Amino acid sequence: MIINNEIEKSDSLFNKVFQLVELARMQVITAVNLAMVHTYFEIGKMIVEEEQEGKDRAKYGKYVLKELSKRLTDQLGKGFSEQNLRNMRQFFIKFADRDISIRQKASGELGKVDFTFFNSFNLGWSHYLVLMRIENISERNFYEIESHKNNWSEPQLKRQYHSSLYERLALSRDKEQVLKLAEQGQIIEKSTDILKNPLVLEFLSLEESNGYSESTLEKAIISKLQHFLLEFGKGFLFEARQKRFTFDEVHFFVDLVFYNRLLQCYVLIDLKTDKLVHQDIGHANVCQLL
């Protein structure tokens, strides 16, 4: 018994130390990524300011990037190709209004750079490579806010953008609410704000067909459950599939059952590939009473 207790204490200590180290590593990686993003912003700013000094801007700008790329690559290694430098330049142009500075202080002949960052950027460089190609400023701000709030990876950000999430949410809102999307991201003010309408399920990778069975659709959703939860809306947790409910000694089966932690209620999904009929509505009403 004593040995078992010691093993449990050892396991507990290991888990605590392991989690602490992992957290520290994640924080270091995040700090490095953010420093890189801010640095790339400043490099882009320097390139733009240098180009503006040239008499023939286009020709001079091309020369600047080529020469800068060669010298930086010789001294610092990979990561400073002409294309990457063009991306940094474009990054500054798209986000030039951000409050950020790297102050350079004179310190002898060599000079000293004092890196003083303001929290203008919260995502990784790969995210901003996607964001800076979105022309609509309001739409770009929305995806930036949502990526940070929901901890989207770069592929998840791409997926939400290509599935037109912003447009889908904006369609159901007035001008004032659309402005809020750009300034605050998706705000849950009423229960209908939780769900996306319509849903885009291209990630299920179903072959083209004139029709799918409800079973096929259900299996496809379960196999890509993480993607489905991201598309479905905010705060959803998967509870069960083919859940049986009994009402007045009559059994009903619901295809998918979710719990929403924001609404603090269950959300039942009954998949239908055919036209909705009165029996289906009656079934849904009974489930609602349950």
pLDDT at 88 over 90: yes
Q: 127-177, pLDDT tens digit by residue?
A: 999 999 999 998 898 899 888 888 888 988 888 888 888 887 777 666 666
- The number of residues making up the chain comes to 290
Work out the pLDDT band at 94, boundaries 50, 70, 90: very high
Tell me the average pLDDT across 91-97. Answer: 91
Q: Is 205 left (phi over 0), alpha (psi -120 to 50) or beta?
A: left
Separation of alpha carbons 117 and 42, rounded Å:
11
In the chain, alpha helices (H): 2-51, 57-76, 82-94, 125-131, 137-150, 154-162, 165-171, 175-184, 214-223, 225-232, 278-289
The pLDDT of residue 129 is 94
Q: Select the highest-mean-pLDDT range: 30-34, 125-129, 188-192, 215-219.
A: 125-129
| pLDDT: which is higher, 85 or 191 | 85
Tell me the average pLDDT across 247-268. Answer: 78
Q: 31-72, pLDDT tens digit by residue?
A: 778 888 999 999 999 888 887 775 556 566 677 888 899 999
What dihedral do alpha carbons 118, 119, 123, 127 form, nearest 10°? -50
Q: Is 229 left (phi over 0), alpha (psi -120 to 50) or beta?
A: alpha
User: Mean pLDDT of all residues in the chain?
Assistant: 75
Tell me the average pLDDT across 193-200. Answer: 61
Give helix 225-232 / helix 214-223 axis angle, nearest 10°.
100
Separation of alpha carbons 104 and 111, rounded Å:
8
Contact between residue 43 and residue 76 where contact means Cβ atoms under 8 Å apart? no
Q: Look up residue 102 and give its DSSP letter.
A: -
Token pair of 54, please? 């040239």
pLDDT at 184 over 50: yes
Give the strand order in the sheet containing 236-247. Answer: 236-247, 250-260, 265-269
Sign of CA dihedral 148, 153, 158, 163: negative
The pLDDT of residue 117 is 47
Bridge partners (DSSP) of residue 243 are 254
Separation of alpha carbons 24 and 282, rounded Å:
54
Lowest mean pLDDT among 26-40, 116-130, 185-199, 208-222: 185-199
pLDDT at 16 over 60: yes
**Interstrand relation of 250-260 and 103-105 (parallel, antiparallel or unpaired):** unpaired
